[in-house]
């Protein structure tokens, strides 16, 4: 079964909407410039929770004065029931480590189907705190862990205990109490397969929906836990967080290289996500009418974007530079909007493509999506697909050659003989199978590298195919592969990806200067994180759900407007 | 212990990759084992029986001995079907899509039961298929699997061979057609033939649903054995390599 492009005439409209071309969209640096949008998975999830009014309550909240203990939330959706179980334990500060190789954490948690009885909670208690060293069963959908942001957590509790609100400036610097360092789903460690989750639990039948919900619940727990400890510490004086300030807390996330191979190993899924985002943008550009109201909304969001970037704190020089450029971009954008009558959004994006940085362009694109929920939001239903790379053995070898030249021209154009062009290799370490990058000149292990250099593999295949065709011009793909079995994987991939609209991420991942950071940010932007804070080219801290509604907001009026969250001002709190 | 389908696939890929299967082969081999296990046909048992043959990079490559308009003859040179059958079926598919019918004979091939998943793939491509093979040493059994165009699951039957002296236990006969509905099963019944067993498409479907719902049971010994085999893809840890993960 092939997985053709989702952009069929029905979705594009009778007069096909113009989409940005693959060589523009699939450029790695551009993918590394994406931001949260209203199609991001967190945004979709929150819309669903709020629209359907999920009932979420702590069925068991057994924490001691220090916040250690067990908490179980019961989640009643419109047609299903889930349990979210957390174990909070003391962690020796010396053991607090965000890396995959850590073995203990402040918090560990699991999202399970149905109710959990005492016996099952004990089973979870024996396994969940162990994380990768434990085993779970198919009732568990997500397993995760988190570490405290110690300085933030302690100072927030201290302020609340003293009857005060924490300093907004501090929360603007680090907008969370906990950082999650791994969120596992999709059948890992014995948990429910994605096929089961997606078929049996429609609430979580979108990519990473259950994982995002886990983080949403973690964020809410972290705030409840801080308030609980403050109350225990000073029952007479303690106060709760003010709602606006409370919403400004997200959940921290630390993502390392481990996420990067996912984007290469799931090319059809990534291509689909990109397609939906691009289709949304194309709809806005092609169908969205410029009105006074929309222009006013654009102005509000551009100003908010400027403030949001100003409030984004990072110690990384590269990201600081990027943020500064985006601020300059948005200042120029405001000047341009003030001096040019706008007749179409295409006019605006054409100008932006000429004048703004990639991060500036993509932030503006996200803002444009905010203006037209009616053109954008329905596409959230098309983010899933059944992945299946399938060989077309009957394809004439000459046709395969033409296919490679058409769809993988970017790969054929890479000069792998250039200095450093194939110096990097990706591998799995024997230390918890952690994915790592190696330098061919400095390290051994290249013979065990993961096949992530798609450009290189495509070029190698094209070369062999050319030689084969010189001798056997009339043969088919199956015959070519019988002679060259080592090409089977890349041929199957290329034939399958040629059917997708956007195809591959166009980059040489073997280059000495490759920035895995771009891959991480691309996926994280689809998740919906904000406040990208790179710690090196290999890992990034960020914030999830900052500005999102709280549990206590469910059932209240809801504007889906937590995009680009801002530090609350005194009068708003 | 219970494991998930995805977990099994992921582990098996590493196992076969560690044995030197190229990209494209190790995914297929993992898929073939998983299909049998998920659908109640003892994929783990088949894999354990296959392990002596699957790390077969030293054996001669799969060879196409003869090709006619509606017939193909292959020699696997004692290799496992795990890394030969997908290529054989693909070549046969190209032939059947041209000719409407093809007769494939595969010699010197181990672990032929893994053909079941490939028949399912054929059915999805609009091809009906029937496979026949004999297996084992005293007793010798014979096996038939067939699938209709578009069907999600095959029919399968097995029984002990009445006259084992004539057995050919390393050959697979495969018929594929886009024009003929190739449905077949062994003659007889459990009451008439020793070791007779039949599995219907509905039984395969139910087994798959059960595995999806509750996971699959695997012995700790086999789990550990597979994990040890999978370690072949891992690179030794070092201080230098730690920095390649964004260390701090």
**A184 contacts A143 by C-beta, under 8 angstroms:** yes
User: Is residue B34 included in any domain, yes or no?
Assistant: yes
Which mean pLDDT values do the consecutive 10-residue runs of chain B (248 residues) have?
A: 94 94 95 96 90 81 94 95 94 94 97 97 96 91 96 96 84 97 87 91 97 94 94 87 64
How many structural domains are present in chain B? 1
Residue B163 confidence (pLDDT): 82
CA angle B126–B127–B130, rounded 5-degree value: 150
| CB B7 within 8 Å of CB A135 | no
Residue B241: inside a domain: no
Band of residue A539 on the pLDDT scale cut at 50, 70, 90? confident
Taking any CB pair shorter than 8 Å as contact, residues of chain B touching chain A are 1-7, 22-25, 27, 61-62, 64, 87, 90-91, 93-94, 97-98, 124, 212-215, 231-238, 240-242, 244-248
- What pLDDT is stored for residue A4 in this prediction? 46
**Bridge partners, residue A61, by sequence:** A71
Mean per-residue pLDDT over chain A, rounded: 94
pLDDT over threshold 60, residue A15:
no
Q: pLDDT above 70 covers what percent of chain A? A: 97
Q: Is residue B142 helix, strand or coil?
A: strand
Name the DSSP class of A476: B
The residue among A389, A337, A384 whose CA lies nearest residue A364 is: A337
B90 and A481 in contact by Cβ < 8 A?
yes
Instruction: Compute the nearest-CA separation of A215 from chain B (Å).
Output: 23
Instruction: Mark yes or no for CB contact B94/A391 under 8 Å.
Output: no
CA distance B183 to chain A (A): 23
Q: B159 to chain A, minimum CA–CA distance in Å?
A: 33
Q: What is the pLDDT of residue B241?
A: 73
What are B97's two structure tokens?
Answer: 């899509």
For residues A50 and A558, what is the distance between their CA atoms, to the nearest angstrom? 7
Instruction: Check CB contact under 8 Å for A481 and B2.
Output: no
Q: Which of B3, B236, B245 lies nearest to residue A434, judging by beta carbons?
A: B245
Confidence at residue B147, expressed as pLDDT on a 0 to 100 scale: 98
Q: Can you give the CATH number for the domain in which B20 is found?
A: 3.30.1370
Which of A567, A474, A10, A529 lies closest to A249, judged by CA? A567
Q: What is the per-residue pLDDT for B57?
A: 75
| pLDDT above 90 coverage of chain A, percent | 87
**Beta carbons within 8 Å of A120's beta carbon, 6+ residues apart:** A112, A139
Domain chopping of chain A, boundaries: 1-31+257-268+385-528, 41-256+565-572, 289-371
Q: Residue A6: its pLDDT value, please?
A: 54
CA gyration radius, chain B? 19
**Record: contact A489-B24, CB cut-off 8 A:** yes
Q: How confident is the model at residue A1 (pLDDT cuts 50, 70, 90)?
A: very low
Chain A hits for B241, Cβ within 8 Å: 429, 436, 438, 443, 445
In whole angstroms, give the CA distance from residue A186 to residue A196. Answer: 9
Indicate yes or no: CB of B241 within 8 angstroms of CB of A436: yes
Q: Which candidate from B2, B94, B246 shows the least CB-CB separation from A190?
A: B2
Q: Which of A522, A531, A524 has the alpha carbon at shortest distance from A308?
A: A531
Give the pTM. 0.94
Q: Is residue B158 part of a domain?
A: yes
pLDDT band at A10 (very low <50, low <70, confident <90, very high): low
Q: Is B216 among the domain residues?
A: yes
| Across A199-207, average pLDDT | 96
Contact A195 B212 (CB under 8 A): yes
The residues that bridge with B197 in the sheet, in sequence order, are: B158
Angle in degrees, CA B170, B174, B175, rounded to 5: 160
What is the C-alpha separation between A188 and B7, in angstroms, rounded?
6
Whether residue B238 lies inside any domain: the answer is: no
Contacts of A364 (CB under 8 A, 6+ apart): A302, A329, A333, A348, A349, A352, A356
List % helix, strand, coil for chain A (3-state, nearest 5). 50, 15, 35
Query: For residue A572, is pLDDT > 70?
Result: no
Instruction: For A58-85, write each residue's pLDDT tens digit.
Output: 999 999 999 999 999 999 999 999 999 9
B239 occurs within a structural domain:
no
Q: How many CB atoms lie within 10 A of CB A1?
A: 9
Q: Is residue B236 part of a domain?
A: no
DSSP string, B162-176: S-GGG--TT-EEEEE
Q: How far is B132 from chain A (nearest CA, A)?
A: 23
Task: Identify whether B244 is part of a domain.
Answer: no
DSSP codes of every residue in B29-65:
HHHHHHHHHHTTS-HHHHHHHHHHHHS-TTSPPPEEE
Which structural domain, as residue segments, surrounds residue B173?
Answer: 2-230
Q: What is the pLDDT of residue A2?
A: 38
Contacts of B5 in chain A (CB under 8 A): 187, 193, 195
CB contact under 8 A, A485 and B25: yes
Crossing angle for the helix pair A209-233 and A150-161, to the nearest 10 degrees: 50
In this prediction, residue A542 has a pLDDT band, given cuts at 50, 70 and 90, of very high
Question: Is B2's CB within 8 Å of A428's CB?
Answer: no
């Amino acid at each position: 079964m092939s997985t053709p492009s989702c952009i069929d005439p029905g979705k594009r409209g009778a007069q096909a909407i113009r989409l940005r071309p693959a060589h523009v969209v699939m450029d790695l640096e551009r993918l590394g410039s994406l931001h949260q949008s209203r199609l991001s998975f967190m945004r979709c999830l929150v819309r669903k929770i709020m629209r359907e009014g999920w009932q979420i309550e702590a069925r068991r909240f057994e924490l001691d004065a220090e916040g250690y203990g067990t908490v179980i939330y019961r989640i009643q959706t419109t047609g299903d029931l889930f349990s979210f179980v957390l174990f909070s334990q003391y962690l020796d500060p010396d053991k607090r480590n965000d890396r995959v190789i850590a073995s203990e954490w402040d918090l560990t948690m699991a999202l399970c189907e149905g109710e959990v009885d005492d016996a099952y909670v004990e089973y979870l208690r024996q396994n969940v705190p162990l994380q990768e060293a434990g085993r779970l069963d198919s009732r568990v959908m997500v397993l995760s862990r988190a570490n405290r942001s110690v300085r933030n957590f302690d100072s927030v509790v201290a302020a609340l205990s003293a009857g005060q609100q924490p300093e907004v400036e501090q929360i603007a610097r680090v907008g969370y109490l906990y950082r999650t360092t791994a969120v596992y789903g999709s059948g890992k460690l014995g948990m429910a397969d994605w096929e089961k989750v997606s078929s049996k639990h429609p609430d979580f039948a979108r990519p990473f929906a259950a994982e995002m919900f886990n983080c949403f619940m973690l964020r809410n727990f972290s705030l409840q836990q801080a308030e609980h400890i403050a109350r225990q510490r000073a029952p007479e004086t303690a106060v709760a967080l003010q709602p606006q300030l409370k919403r400004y807390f997200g959940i921290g996330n630390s993502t390392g290289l481990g996420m990067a191979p996912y984007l290469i190993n799931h090319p059809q899924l990534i291509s689909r996500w990109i397609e939906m985002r691009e289709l949304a943008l194309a709809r806005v550009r092609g169908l969205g009418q410029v009105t006074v109201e929309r222009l006013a909304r654009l102005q509000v969001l551009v100003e908010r974007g400027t403030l949001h970037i100003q409030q984004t704190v990072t110690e990384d020089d590269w990201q600081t530079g990027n943020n500064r450029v985006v601020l300059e971009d948005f200042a120029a954008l405001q000047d341009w909007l003030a001096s040019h009558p706008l007749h179409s959004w295409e006019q605006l994006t054409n100008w932006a493509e000429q004048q703004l940085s990639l991060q500036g362009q993509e932030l503006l694109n996200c803002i444009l999506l905010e203006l037209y929920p009616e053109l954008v939001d329905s596409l959230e239903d098309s983010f899933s697909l059944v992945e299946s790379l399938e060989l077309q053995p009957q394809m004439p070898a000459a046709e395969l050659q033409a296919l490679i030249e058409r769809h993988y021209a970017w790969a054929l154009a890479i000069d792998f003989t250039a200095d450093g062009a194939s110096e990097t290799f990706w591998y799995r370490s024997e230390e918890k199978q952690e994915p790592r990058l190696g330098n061919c000149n400095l390290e051994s292990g290249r013979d065990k590298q993961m096949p992530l250099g798609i450009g290189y593999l495509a070029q190698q295949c094209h070369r062999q195919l050319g030689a084969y065709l010189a001798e056997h011009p009339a043969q088919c793909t199956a015959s070519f592969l019988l002679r060259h079995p080592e090409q089977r994987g890349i041929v199957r991939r290329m034939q399958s990806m040629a059917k997708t609209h956007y195809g591959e991420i166009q980059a040489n991942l073997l280059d000495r200067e490759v920035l895995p950071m771009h891959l991480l940010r691309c996926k994280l932007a689809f998740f919906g994180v904000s406040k990208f804070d790179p710690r090196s080219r290999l890992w990034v801290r960020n914030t999830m759900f900052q500005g999102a509604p709280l549990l206590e907001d469910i059932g209240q009026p809801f504007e889906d407007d937590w995009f680009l969250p801002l530090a609350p001002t005194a009068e708003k709190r | 212990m219970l494991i998930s389908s995805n977990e099994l696939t992921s582990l098996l890929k590493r196992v076969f990759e560690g044995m030197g299967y190229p990209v494209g082969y190790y995914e297929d081999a993992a898929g073939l084992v998983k299909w049998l296990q998920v659908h109640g046909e003892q994929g783990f048992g088949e894999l354990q029986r296959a392990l002596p043959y699957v790390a077969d990079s030293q054996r001669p490559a799969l060879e196409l001995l003869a090709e006619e308009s509606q017939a193909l003859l292959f020699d696997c040179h004692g290799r496992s079907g795990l890394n030969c059958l997908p290529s054989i079926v693909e070549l046969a598919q190209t032939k059947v899509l041209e000719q409407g019918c093809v007769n494939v004979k595969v010699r010197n091939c181990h672990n032929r039961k893994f053909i079941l998943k490939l028949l399912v793939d054929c059915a999805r491509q609009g091809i009906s298929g029937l496979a026949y093979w004999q297996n084992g040493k005293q007793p010798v059994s014979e096996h038939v699997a067939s699938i209709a165009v578009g069907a999600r699951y095959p029919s399968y039957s097995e029984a002990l061979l009445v006259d084992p002296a004539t057995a050919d236990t390393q050959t697979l006969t495969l018929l594929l057609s886009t024009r003929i509905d190739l449905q077949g099963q062994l003659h007889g019944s459990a009451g008439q033939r020793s070791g007779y067993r039949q599995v219907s498409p509905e039984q395969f479907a139910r087994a798959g649903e059960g595995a999806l719902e509750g996971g699959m049971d695997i012995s700790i010994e086999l789990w550990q054995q597979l994990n040890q085999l999978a370690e072949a893809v891992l690179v030794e840890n070092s201080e230098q390599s730690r920095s390649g993960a964004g260390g701090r």
